């Protein structure tokens, strides 16, 4: 099971997540309390093994800025969390993960046709872009007939429910940020527990 730990802001936590088995780390370049500078992102990227994907999270950013950050920070993917269009995605020239907030109103055809390597399915946006740490109705995955081989599940996941989500949905991967935090900061115990739970599903 592919596991991404998002909202990483320092080298030590990035390395710890990688050592615990994280397949990817996410760095936020959009307006967020977890936002990182390009300088810090470059330091984090350089510290990680090549096998760990470096993913930058953007919201409605100028495409030239996205391309520059992707190059400078040696990103493997850019994750788009805003109202970016298919044309915008194609123009980047960088592998894309496109995030969609899933609800009954979501247009599944628009999701299926979006030019992206992976789709990240989150709860509908609230005060912030992204899932705001809340789960969505997992049954909508089946209802919308979404392809699961390139589907990453986010939104309200934590060490207690990630196994249930994987068993219910059978996605390509899972993504977590606030679910492995304590009082707004990454919690190493929760990171390890989350990764162990997510990876352990396939061993049972």
Q: How many beta carbons lie within 10 A of that of residue 36, not counting itself?
A: 21
Q: Name residues whose C-beta falls within 8 Å of residue 80's C-beta, 6 or more positions apart in sequence.
A: 58, 59, 88, 89, 96, 97, 98, 99, 116
Q: Annotated catalytic, 122?
A: yes
Separation of alpha carbons 6 and 27, rounded Å: 6
Separation of alpha carbons 115 and 97, rounded Å: 9
Using DSSP's 3-state secondary structure scheme, residue 56 falls into strand
E-assigned strands of the chain?
Answer: 2-5, 24-28, 53-58, 77-80, 96-101, 118-122, 151-153, 173-176, 181-182, 185-186
User: In this structure, are strands 24-28 and 53-58 parallel, antiparallel, or unpaired?
Assistant: parallel
Among candidate residues 10, 20, 122, 137, the one labeled active-site is: 122
CB-based burial label for 8 (10 Å; 0-12, 13-18, 19+): buried
- Name the residue among 153, 134, 138 with its Cα closest to residue 3: 153
Q: Annotated catalytic, 20?
A: no
Asked if 29 and 49 count as a contact pair (C-beta separation under 8 A), the reply is no
Among candidate residues 6, 76, 113, 196, the one labeled active-site is: 6
Catalytic residues: 6, 122
């Amino acid at each position: 099971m592919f596991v991404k730990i998002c909202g990483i802001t320092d080298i030590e936590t990035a390395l710890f997540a990688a050592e615990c088995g994280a397949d990817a780390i996410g760095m936020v370049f959009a307006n967020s309390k977890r936002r990182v500078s390009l300088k810090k992102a470059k330091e984090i990227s350089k510290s990680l093994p090549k096998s760990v994907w470096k993913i930058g999270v953007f919201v409605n950013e100028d495409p030239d800025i996205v391309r520059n950050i992707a190059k400078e920070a040696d990103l493997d993917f850019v994750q788009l969390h805003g109202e970016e269009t298919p044309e915008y995605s194609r123009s980047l020239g960088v592998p894309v993960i496109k995030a969609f907030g899933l609800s009954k109103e979501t247009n599944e055809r628009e999701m299926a046709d979006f030019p992206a390597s992976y789709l990240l399915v989150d709860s509908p946006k609230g005060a912030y872009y992204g899932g705001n740490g809340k789960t969505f109705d997992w049954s909508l995955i089946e209802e919308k007939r979404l392809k699961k081989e390139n589907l990453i599940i986010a939104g309200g996941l934590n060490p207690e429910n990630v196994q249930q989500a994987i068993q219910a949905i059978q996605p390509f991967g899972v993504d977590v940020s606030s679910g492995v935090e304590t009082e707004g900061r990454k919690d190493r115990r929760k990171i390890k527990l989350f990764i162990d739970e997510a990876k352990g599903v396939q061993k049972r």
